[in-house]
């Protein structure tokens, strides 16, 4: 183990990391407003507090490394560079949305940026990432598949199946266990037999370890190393990112079970605040530059919200589109019926 901390990323990348974390935070705060105004339906899961885990991961990957996530995935899409307008329009269920209004907040995808989607069944997307890794190796490519899922998902049987397959077949995959310490209202302590989750992957011969998921540079370093193991050594790796979400599980959760004292403790470690200190301390940005960046991000978010609100609804006549590669007919009562 090396003792000295790794060198800081180049200044440009440092600024980019800060901007993306800020964008995710502001975007999600605006999404919460849109939800409260009744313009967003369904579930809305915010990752506020988890920005370091998201951005530290994405900036450690190549843009063509396939990535999957959970329903808490606005940040992954933003970090991969998807258009904030299209994301907000998807949240509002508009025709200009990233997925044409069919997926909503839980199911963003931008395949042009190798973001293979957010999925709503806890643990259910993990085998898809194993398949993406399989496909990369099958074709002789050097992409690394990456899947982010919660510590709650780590209790699902299919996740253990995936650790086994990835260990058995030495697949180029990185499993990222985003341990925000709660699955809805249940503390991980009340749901898991062990405190740490990464040893479960290690049990299948996968190199696995845990890092501070509130420290974006620590996440970046760990995920870079995990991706290196997967890409260069052709075997799976797993990193547990210890983090915290500041809001309830979703917008419909009043968040009454977690203590104020606990929340304050984690808020003191807010990744945006701590990274801002690093930027100032290292002289990468000064207060003025940071204020200017915030204003620019706010404008992007304002523009995204305005765009989404003004976007047209999806024509109801298109409800049966994309059930199949080609439709037999457009009748929603029988999208696979060859009519008399």
Partner 1 sequence: MTTPPPEVTYRDALNQALREEMHRDESVFLMGEDIGHFDGAFKVTRGLLAEFGEQRVVDTPITEAGFTGLGIGAAMAGLRPVIEIMTVNFALVAMDQIISNASKIRYMFGGQASVPMVIRMPGGAGHQLSAQHSHSLEAMFTHVPGLKVVVPATPEDAKGLLKTAIRDDDPVIFLESEGLYGKKGPVGGDDDLIPFGQAVVRRPGRDCTVIAHSRMVWVALAAAERLAEQGIEVEVVDPRTFRPLDLGTLAASVARTSRAVVVDEGWPECGIAAGVAAHLYEACFDLLDAPIGRVNSADVPMPYARNLEQAAIPQPDDVVAAVMATMAREVPR
Residues lying near ligand TPP in the complex (CB under 6 A): 70, 72, 120-122, 150-153, 180, 182-184, 249
Q: Which does 323 bind (CB under 5 to 8 A by kind): ligand TPP, partner 1, none?
A: partner 1
CA max distance for the chain: 74
The helix (H) or strand (E) run that includes residue 82 is none
Element (H or E) spanning 226, and its range? helix 216-232
CA pair distance 164, 287, nearest whole angstrom = 49
> 54 or 227: whose CB is closer to ligand TPP?
54
- Closest CB to partner 1 among residues 89, 304: 89
Contacts to partner 1 by CB under 8 A: 66, 68, 97-103, 107, 109-111, 116-117, 119-121, 124-136, 138-139, 145, 157-158, 161-162, 164-165, 168, 321-325, 328, 334-340
CB atoms within 10 A of CB 23: 25
Instruction: Please tell me the distance from the alpha carbon of residue 108 to that of residue 68, in angstroms, as a whole number.
Output: 10
Structure tokens at 107: 């199911």
CA angle 113, 321, 80 (to 5 degrees): 10
- Buried b / exposed e across 143-176, counting CB within 10 Å, b at 16+? bbbbbbbbbbbbbbeebbebbbbbbeebbbbbbb
Rounded least distance, CB 59 to ligand TPP, Å: 20
Between 126 and 217, name the residue whose CB sits nearer to partner 1: 126
Residue 99 CB, nearest approach to partner 1 (Å): 4
Q: Which residue is nearest to ligand TPP (CB)?
A: 150
- Closer residue to ligand TPP (CB): 200 or 235: 200
- Residue 103 near which of ligand TPP, partner 1, none (CB within 5-8 Å, type-dependent): partner 1
User: Which H/E stretch holds residue 150?
Assistant: strand 145-150
Distance (Å) of CA 11 to CA 17, 240, 274, 284: 10, 27, 16, 6
| Least separation in angstroms between CB 158 and partner 1 | 5
Q: How large is the angle between the packed helices 216-232 and 51-58, nearest 10 degrees?
A: 40
Residue 72 interacts with, from ligand TPP, partner 1, none (CB under 5-8 Å by kind): ligand TPP
Sign of CA dihedral 297, 19, 267, 58: positive
Looking at beta carbons only, is 74 or 231 nearer to ligand TPP? Answer: 74
Q: Which does 28 bind (CB under 5 to 8 A by kind): ligand TPP, partner 1, none?
A: none
212 backbone dihedrals φ, ψ, rounded to 5°:
-75, 110
Q: Which is nearer to ligand TPP, 72 or 235 (CB)?
A: 72
Structure tokens at 301: 């978010």
Which listed option, partner 1, ligand TPP, none, makes contact with residue 219 (CB within 5 to 8 Å by class)? none
Q: Which is nearer to partner 1, 143 or 243 (CB)?
A: 143
Binding partner of residue 127 among partner 1, ligand TPP, none, CB cut-off 5 to 8 Å per kind: partner 1
Q: Which listed option, ligand TPP, partner 1, none, makes contact with residue 73 (CB within 5 to 8 Å by class)?
A: none
The distance of Cα 323 from the centroid of its chain, to the nearest Å, equals 26
Instruction: Indicate which of partner 1, ligand TPP, none lies near residue 128 (CB less than 5 to 8 Å, by partner kind).
Output: partner 1
Q: For partner 1, give the closer residue by CB, 135 or 306.
A: 135
């Amino acid at each position: 183990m090396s003792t000295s901390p790794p060198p800081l990323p180049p200044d440009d990348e440092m600024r980019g990391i800060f901007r993306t974390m800020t964008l995710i935070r502001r975007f999600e705060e605006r999404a919460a407003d849109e939800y409260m105004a009744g313009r967003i339906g369904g579930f809305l899961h915010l990752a506020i507090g988890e920005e370091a885990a998201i951005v530290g991961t994405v900036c450690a990957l190549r843009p063509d490394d396939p990535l999957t996530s959970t329903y808490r995935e606005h940040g992954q899409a933003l970090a991969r560079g998807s258009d904030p307008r299209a994301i907000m329009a998807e949240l509002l269920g508009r025709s200009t949305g990233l997925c044409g209004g069919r997926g909503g907040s839980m199911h963003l995808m931008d395949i042009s940026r190798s973001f293979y989607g957010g999925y709503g069944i806890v643990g259910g997307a993990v085998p898809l990432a194993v398949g993406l890794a399989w496909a990369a190796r099958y074709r002789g490519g050097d992409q690394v598949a990456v899947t982010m899922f919660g510590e709650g998902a780590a209790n699902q049987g299919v996740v253990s199946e995936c650790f086994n397959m990835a260990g058995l077949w030495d697949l180029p995959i990185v499993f990222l266990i985003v341990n925000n310490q709660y699955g809805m209202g249940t503390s991980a302590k009340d749901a898991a037999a062990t405190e740490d989750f990464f040893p479960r992957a290690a049990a299948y011969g996968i190199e696995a370890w845990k890092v501070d998921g509130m420290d974006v540079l620590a996440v970046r370093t760990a995920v870079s190393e995990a991706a290196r193991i997967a890409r260069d050594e052709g075997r799976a790796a797993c990193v547990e990112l210890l983090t915290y979400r500041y809001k309830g599980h979703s917008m419909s959760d009043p968040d009454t079970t977690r203590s104020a004292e606990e929340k304050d403790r984690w808020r003191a470690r807010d990744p945006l605040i701590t990274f801002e200190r690093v930027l100032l301390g290292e002289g990468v940005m000064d207060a003025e530059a940071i204020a200017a960046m915030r204003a620019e991000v706010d404008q992007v978010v304002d523009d995204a919200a305005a765009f989404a609100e003004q976007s047209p609804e999806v024509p109801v006549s298109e409800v049966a589109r994309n059930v199949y590669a080609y439709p037999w007919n457009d009748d929603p009562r029988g999208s696979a019926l060859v009519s008399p």
